C-alpha cells in the first residue's frame, strides 16, 4: 500500500517535442502533477503549507525508458522508498496504460524546509501520511529451519522471488529491490549466523545447510517454486540448491557471482581471514574486504553505501563468519551444475566488479542456454546496492517477461 496511490494523467500535445515525444521537462512536470493530484485526493494540497514546511527537491534520478506521445494516458505509481528525520525519498514508476510499457522510473529525494529555508523535521501529520519508515524498520518474520530460526523479510504479492545475500552482507543489501519491485512477492532471509537469524556454533555451517535453509523458508511460506536471485555467495548457495532441489527453481538471477571453486591461493586467503575474524571480529574482516567491494565511483560519490556495508558486516556473528569462510573455501566447482540449467536466467555484473569480474560473469552466462547477460555500469561487486535503479530495472524487465507457470 502506498499513501500516494496511483494517478492517471493524459499527455498533452504542448508537452511534446517536434518529434511528437513527451519531452524530458514535461515528464518532470507530470510527476509533480501526480504528486499534487495524490495530495488533493488525500490529505489536501495544503498538507505542507498548513504544517509550516515545504518539500524541496534535493536530488532527482530519472531513467527515461520508452517514448510517450500526445494523448497517451500514463499511470504514475508513487511509493515512499525512504524516510529520514527531515527527508523523504519517493519513487515514481510511469507506465502507459494502453500497452503497460514502462515510460520512466524516477527516484526523488525531498527535504522539508521551513519558511527560512532551513531543513526541518517532518511534522507529525505528514509523517503519519507517509506511513511507517519503509526501510530499516521493516520487521522480519522468524522461520524455523532445522536447528535455527531464520529472519525473513517478506513483502508483496505475485511471483515469489527469493533474494539471497552475499558475504559479509545481510538481507538489507536488497533494500532497494525489496522496496521497489512491487509486482512480485519479495522474500529475503538472513543466512544462519547473520543479522536477526539464529547463530549455531562454527561447525553448524555447510553449503548443504545454507541451501536447505532456503528451502525451509520456501516451505514455511507455502512456496513450491521461486525465482532465485543470489549475489556472490548467494549464488554459490543457489548452485547447491540447484543440485539438491532443482524442482524448486522457476528462474535464476545471478548477480556478481562465479561458478569456480577457490584456488589454493584463495583458500589460504580464507584461512588468513578466518584468523582475522577470530582475533579482531567483524570490523577486522570488513576493513580487509571493503577496498575490493565497491566501484571507485561508489566510494567517491556514495559514502553512505560503504557505511551500509560496514553495518551489514557488523551484523554477522563471529561463528557465522568463521563457518561461512570455511564453506567458501571448500565449495565445489559449479560449472557442470550451470551447464544443466534449463530455466530462464539473468546474469548481471557490476562493470568494476573485481571479485567476479565481467569476463567471468560473461563466461558463466554462456554455460546456460539462452541466459541473458548484462553489465551494470559504475558498479562494483554489489551492483544492486551501488546502482539500484539500473539493477532493479534489469530485474523488473526479466521478471515481467517470465512465462506464466
Nearer to ligand MLT, 248 or 381 (CB): 381
Nearer to ligand MLT, 167 or 239 (CB): 167
Sequence-distant (6+) residues with CB within 8 A of 32 are none
In the DSSP assignment, the letter for residue 138 is P
Find the farthest-apart pair of alpha carbons in the chain and give their distance in angstroms, rounded. Answer: 68
- Helix and strand numbers (H, E) in the chain are 14, 13
User: What is the smallest separation between the CB atom of 197 and ligand MLT, expressed in angstroms?
Assistant: 16
Q: Strand, coil or helix: what is 189? A: strand
What cell numbers appear for 163 in the block? 533474494
Query: Residue 28 and residue 106: Cα distance in Å, rounded?
Result: 9
Q: Strand, coil or helix: what is 401? A: coil
Q: What is the CA radius of gyration of the chain?
A: 22
Could you list the residues that contact ligand MLT (CB under 6 A)?
166-167, 232-233, 328, 355, 381
In the DSSP assignment, the letter for residue 122 is P
Nearer to ligand MLT, 167 or 210 (CB): 167
The C-alpha angle 39, 24, 35, rounded to 5 degrees, equals 5
CA-based torsion, 237, 239, 158, 4: positive or negative: positive
Cβ contact 375:358 at 8 Å: yes
User: What is the smallest separation between the CB atom of 292 and ligand MLT, expressed in angstroms?
Assistant: 8
Question: How many C-beta atoms surround the C-beta of residue 45 within 10 A?
Answer: 15
In order, the DSSP letters of 342-403 are -S-EEEEEETT-SSS-HHHHHHHHHHSTT-EEEEETT--S-HHHHSHHHHHHHHHHHHHTSP
In the DSSP assignment, the letter for residue 171 is G
Q: Which of 274, 206, 264 is nearest to 236 (CA)?
A: 206
Amino acid at each position: 500500500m502506498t499513501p500516494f496511490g496511483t494517478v492517471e494523467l493524459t499527455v498533452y500535445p504542448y508537452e511534446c517535442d517536434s518529434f511528437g515525444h513527451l519531452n524530458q521537462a514535461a515528464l518532470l512536470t507530470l510527476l509533480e502533477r501526480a504528486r499534487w493530484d495524490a495530495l488533493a485526493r488525500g490529505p489536501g494540497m495544503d498538507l505542507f503549507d498548513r504544517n509550516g514546511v515545504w518539500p524541496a527537491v534535493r536530488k532527482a534520478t530519472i531513467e527515461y525508458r520508452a517514448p510517450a506521445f500526445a494523448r497517451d494516458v500514463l499511470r504514475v505509481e508513487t511509493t515512499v522508498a525512504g524516510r529520514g528525520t527531515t527527508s523523504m525519498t519517493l519513487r515514481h514508476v510511469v507506465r502507459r496504460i494502453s500497452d503497460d510499457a514502462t515510460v520512466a522510473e524516477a527516484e526523488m529525494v525531498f527535504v522539508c524546509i521551513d519558511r527560512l529555508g532551513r531543513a526541518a523535521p517532518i511534522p507529525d501529520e505528514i509523517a503519519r501520511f507517509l506511513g511507517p519508515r519503509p526501510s530499516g524498520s521493516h520487521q522480519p518474520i522468524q522461520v524455523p529451519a532445522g536447528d535455527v530460526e531464520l529472519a525473513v523479510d517478506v513483502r508483496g504479492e505475485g511471483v515469489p522471488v527469493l533474494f539471497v545475500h552475499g558475504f559479509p552482507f545481510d538481507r538489507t543489501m536488497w533494500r532497494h529491490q525489496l522496496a521497489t519491485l512491487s509486482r512480485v512477492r519479495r522474500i529475503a532471509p538472513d543466512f544462519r549466523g547473520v543479522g536477526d537469524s539464529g547463530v549455531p556454533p562454527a561447525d553448524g555451517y555447510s553449503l548443504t545447510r545454507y541451501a536447505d535453509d532456503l528451502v525451509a523458508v520456501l516451505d514455511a511460506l507455502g512456496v513450491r517454486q521461486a525465482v532465485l536471485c543470489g549475489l556472490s555467495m548467494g549464488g554459490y548457495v543457489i548452485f547447491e540448491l540447484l543440485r539438491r532441489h532443482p524442482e524448486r527453481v522457476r528462474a535464476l538471477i545471478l548477480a556478481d557471482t562465479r561458478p569456480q571453486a577457490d584456488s589454493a591461493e584463495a583458500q589460504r586467503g580464507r584461512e588468513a581471514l578466518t584468523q582475522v575474524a577470530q582475533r579482531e571480529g567483524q570490523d577486522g574482516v570488513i576493513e580487509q574486504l571493503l577496498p575490493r567491494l565497491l566501484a571507485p565511483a561508489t566510494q567517491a560519490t556514495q559514502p553512505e553505501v560503504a557505511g551500509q556495508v560496514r553495518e551489514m558486516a557488523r551484523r554477522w556473528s563471529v561463528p557465522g563468519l568463521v563457518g561461512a569462510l570455511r564453506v567458501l573455501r571448500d565449495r565445489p566447482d559449479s560449472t557442470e551444475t550451470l551447464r544443466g540449467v534449463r530455466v530462464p536466467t539473468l546474469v548481471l555484473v557490476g562493470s568494476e566488479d573485481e571479485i567476479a569480474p565481467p569476463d567471468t560473469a560473461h563466461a558463466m552466462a554462456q554455460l546456460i542456454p539462452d541466459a541473458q547477460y548484462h553489465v551494470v555500469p559504475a558498479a562494483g561487486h554489489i551492483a544492486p546496492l551501488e546502482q539500484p535503479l539500473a539493477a532493479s530495472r534489469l530485474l523488473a524487465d526479466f521478471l515481467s517477461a517470465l512465462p506464466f507457470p
